[in-house]
Amino acid sequence: MSKTILVTGSSGLIGSEVCSYFARELGYQIHGLDNNQRAVFFGPQGDTRWNQRRLQESLPGFVHHELDIRDRAGVLALVRELKPAAIVHTAAQPSHDRAAAIPFDDFDTNAGGTLNLLEAARQACPESPFVNMSTNKVYGDAPNLIRLVELDTRWDYADPAYVHGIPETFSIDQSKHSLFGASKVAADVMVQEYGRYFGMPTCCLRGGCLTGPNHTGVELHGFLSYLVKCNLEGREYRVFGYKSKQVRDNIHALDVARFMAAFVAAPRIGQVYNLGGGKANSCSIIEAFGLAEKYTGRKQVSVYTDQNRIGDHICYYSDLRKMRTHYPQWDISVSLEETVRQIVEAWKRRSR
């Protein structure tokens, strides 16, 4: 009999990749929890029903649960019924811009929803690995205090202490996070606490830019996916400050799912990992324009504003050394160029 995994946010980019990977590569019975809240947060362009249908059509035995993680009783009942061998929690209000307009929805989803799942897991299956998709926004704008150097197409760290990127020991305190960052801090710390206080196998994955061909990118969330979509449609891509040289590391959803599988196979108590593409898979906005143009054959149309987003990072890429030390069989397997190529092809298919 196959093991059961519960994946929240199963119609989203990471959730759907986890569903596919655990089903096809590891033989798990997949239960996906999603209520298309992304369409509520971002409007019709954020709708993920297409991805739900894709999973239902492509994964034998996939079970969809139309449930909001804010529904405490509903979450508890589902986890008690399933007693899953693992829980991967990717459901969230994911935009730090959007959070300011919907602070209660943001906190109730990100913090309250995570607590609902943790407590359900503690009551029903405390031995099952619990993987929480956190965010690098838990560090707030503190990375902007690192000494930087301006290069031709990007900013980079001038301080040799950060030559590998931001480590998990970096402070999350006394910085500006955005309301989204603050709600994710609450969830992140609670996941750690359930691990350390109750001895549960939990981890927080502080993601950089998570991306891939199944991303429903919108302006407020989904940097590379949305940039490529704008390129293909000839629409202006708005750049917010920092001379278009702000840097992000990008990790393909497949490599996220692969790391989650490594953790589930050999779980640890209350761990934190900075999950990103690392310096090798980082790019600035300017450099991303060049990559998109390479694979679409179209000139990127953009408009620039000097006003940066509140709490936004000037330069951020993840130090992957802890991940590689704890799970040496894991490493980045999809390059940034290949990721962009896949995103271009995916948007072309969807527009046909």
Q: Mention every residue, 6+ apart, whose C-beta is less than 8 A from residue 220.
A: 42, 95, 97, 98
Tell me if residue 222 falls in helix, strand or coil.
Answer: coil
What pLDDT shows up at residue 86? 98
What pLDDT shows up at residue 58? 97
Q: What phi and psi, each to the nearest 5 degrees, are found at residue 235?
A: -95, 150
Amino acid at 175: S
CATH code for the domain in which residue 39 is found? 3.40.50.720
Q: What phi and psi, each to the nearest 5 degrees, are found at residue 209?
A: -90, 105
What pLDDT shows up at residue 1? 56
* The overall pTM is greater than 0.75: yes
Give the C-alpha separation, 150 to 155, whole Å: 5
Total number of domains in the chain? 1
Give the C-alpha separation, 121 to 69, whole Å: 13
What pLDDT shows up at residue 223? 87
Question: Domain range for residue 154?
Answer: 4-351
Tokens of 120: 């359900």
Give the C-alpha separation, 260 to 268, whole Å: 12
What pLDDT shows up at residue 24? 97
Tokens of 221: 């969330």
**Is the backbone of residue 140 left (phi > 0), alpha (psi -120 to 50) or beta?**
left
Give CA 21 to chain center in angstroms: 16
What pLDDT shows up at residue 95? 84
Longest dimension (CA), the chain: 57
Residues 264/266/272/278 CA torsion (nearest 10 deg): -90
**Is the backbone of residue 124 left (phi > 0), alpha (psi -120 to 50) or beta?**
alpha
What pLDDT shows up at residue 38? 87
Return the ∠ at Cα 255 (arms to 322 and 111), rounded to 5°.
75
**How far, in Å, are 72, 123, 296, 307 from residue 115 at the CA level?**
9, 12, 43, 35
Report mean pLDDT in 10-residue bins for the chain, 352 residues: 91 96 98 93 88 96 98 98 98 89 96 98 98 96 97 98 98 95 97 98 96 83 90 96 96 97 98 97 98 97 91 94 98 97 94 76
What pLDDT shows up at residue 43? 86
Q: Mention every residue, 6+ apart, whose C-beta is less than 8 A from residue 77.
A: none
